[in-house]
Amino acid sequence: MIKVGIVGATGYTGAELLRILCNHPQVEVVTITSRGDAGLPVAELYPGLRGRVGLAFVEPSVEALAACDVVFFATPHCVAMESVPELLAAGKVVIDLSADFRIKDAALWEKWYGHAHTAQEALKQAVYALPEVNREAIRTAQLIACPGCYPTAVQLGFMPLLEAGVIDPANLVANAASGVSGAGRQAKVANLFTEVHDSYKAYGVPGHRHLPEIEQGLNGMSKQPVSLTFVPHLVPMIRGIHATLYATLTDDNADVQALFEQRYANEAFVDVLPKGSHPETRSVKGINTCRLAVHRPQGRNTVVVLSVIDNLTKGAAGQAVQAMNIRFGLDETTGLLQAALMP
């Protein structure tokens, strides 16, 4: 059994991680930490885990995590970087769901997050864990940096087109909408039910923190430099991301449907829908799957890709467990084959 510790499990991502791991046949969760809720039984905070998780939260410390084979960080940015170097020195595998180790350029990270990066040596060894791209590197990684939710949906949507070199990489557009859980589990007026219900808005248009992460990933797929316009939106639902991606086709003979079907033919968690489809966020609710559809409206030179994921699952906790499975030599799908929640 893989002994697991979770740092910061009181948020939505941490709760989703627990939901998945308590059904994983090769995992034993041994430590769950929280500074604010130390001593509180996990099932009191999350009654849905009653009878499945019998642990109480404990104060975070290297000593508390010493019995673990792998430690997940489900914390806000700037938290993991303070503890990760010590855990790496202790020989632990670390899987970070925050943004601390996603961007390889420390100066660029500091520009977008407004904080000094205090673990730059660890950053150098971090593996960006989009499995469909970096599967082989994940197998031997000690520090695994999980992609963000928007970056997952956008990168998987553009990847077949960029790898094939059939679109103009200098003029990419991503319009993406997220459910409110993407903002985290904290009390903010802007996230109250009465503020978001029956409304729809864009945010972060001048620049969103996920932009440099997305461009970093897309540049790794492209033979030429990438330029992306990224506009996120808040939609009044609890969970899910819908990304509508636009690109200009440079090869008029490209069969874009075939490109997607061939690229993802052997990917368990990417589902390319039949030609003409329109994926819905409800079809991926609670599962570790990205559903994609590709269109060429009116047969012109604009390619439109529709990409849907659950922001808490394939966009966070599910993908983290997928990376753990790869790292520990398990079948990638172990513990992750649930059907979507319907309705």
Ranking 57-61, 295-299, 303-307, 310-314 by mean pLDDT, the lowest is: 57-61
Which pLDDT score is estimated for 313?
98
What distance in Å separates the CA atoms of residue 54 and residue 34, rounded to the nearest whole number? 15
Q: Residue 137 corresponds to which tokens in the numbers above?
A: 């590197």
- What backbone phi and psi angles, to 5 degrees, belong to 209? -60, -20
pLDDT above 80: residue 184 = no
User: For a pLDDT cut of 90, what percent of the chain falls above it?
Assistant: 90
> What would the pLDDT profile of 114-169 be if each residue is shown by its tens digit?
999 999 999 999 999 999 999 999 999 999 999 999 999 999 999 999 999 999 99
Q: Give the Cβ contact number of residue 195 at 10 Å.
A: 14
* pLDDT band at 196; cut points 50, 70, 90: confident
For 81-112, what is each residue's pLDDT tens digit?
Answer: 999 999 999 999 999 999 999 999 999 999 99
Q: What is the phi-psi region of residue 290: left when phi exceeds 0, alpha when psi lies from -120 to 50, beta otherwise?
A: beta
List the beta bridge partners of residue 2: 27
Residue 147's alpha-carbon distances to 258, 295, 313, in angstroms, are 26, 26, 12
What pLDDT score does 66 carry? 84
Taking the C-alpha atoms of residue 343 and residue 336, their distance in angstroms, rounded to an integer, is: 19
Q: Is the pLDDT of residue 64 over 90?
A: no
- Give the active site residue among 68, 146, 149, 290: 149
Q: How far apart are CA 108 and CA 77, in angstroms?
A: 15
Beta bridge partners of 79: none
Q: Going from the N-terminus, what domains does the chain have, and what CATH number goes with each?
A: 2-125 (3.40.50.720), 150-310 (3.30.360.10)
Q: By three-state DSSP, how is residue 77 classified?
A: coil
CA angle, 296 then 297 then 299, to 5°: 70
Using pLDDT thresholds of 50, 70 and 90, give the confidence band for residue 214.
very high
Residue 294 pLDDT > 80: yes
pLDDT for the residue 1 = 95
Is 149 an annotated catalytic residue? yes
Residue 182 — very low, low, confident or very high, per pLDDT cuts 50/70/90?
confident
Residues 6+ apart with CB under 8 A from 177: 200, 232, 233, 234, 235, 241, 242, 243
pTM of the full predicted structure? 0.96
Pairing mode of beta strands 241-248, 270-272: unpaired
241 or 182: which carries more pLDDT confidence?
Answer: 241
Per-residue DSSP letters for 81-132? HHHHHHHHHTT-EEEE-SSTTT-S-HHHHHHHH-S--S-HHHHHH-EE--HH
Residue 186 binned pLDDT confidence (cut-offs 50, 70, 90) = confident
pLDDT at 24: 97
